[in-house]
Amino acid sequence: MPPQFRLTLAAVEMSQNSMDPARVVDAFEQSLKLDPNNVAARIQYAEALEKLNRHADAVKQYQRALDLNAKLESENPKRLRPEKAGEIEKQIKP
């Protein structure tokens, strides 16, 4: 199954009233196994983990996203806007 499809499944699962946290986490983890350098997917995963009150895990995903983002060329369209990267950095600062 393509990584983008798994991300879509995770988003759909998050939007359900009877969300299954294990399915959400599994969908994101499977997607990231297939595309581990996907900055946007890591941020979405971190946001999902926050909603599941798994804050320490969310911080790890945010940090990984920032680390991967820093390795991207400045012209790469997958790179975070500097404002977004700054927001995340402020959010995860202890």
Residue 42 — very low, low, confident or very high, per pLDDT cuts 50/70/90? very high
Side-chain half-sphere exposure of 56, counting CA atoms within 13 A: 0
Q: Which two tokens stand for residue 5?
A: 């499809």
Q: What is the pLDDT of residues 59-94, one digit of tens each?
A: 999 999 999 999 999 999 999 999 999 999 999 987
Class of domain 3-92: mainly alpha
pLDDT in tens, 6-36: 666 666 666 656 668 888 888 889 889 989 9
Contact indicator for 78, 40 with CB cutoff of 8 Å? yes
Is residue 1 very low, low, confident or very high in pLDDT (cuts 50, 70, 90)? low
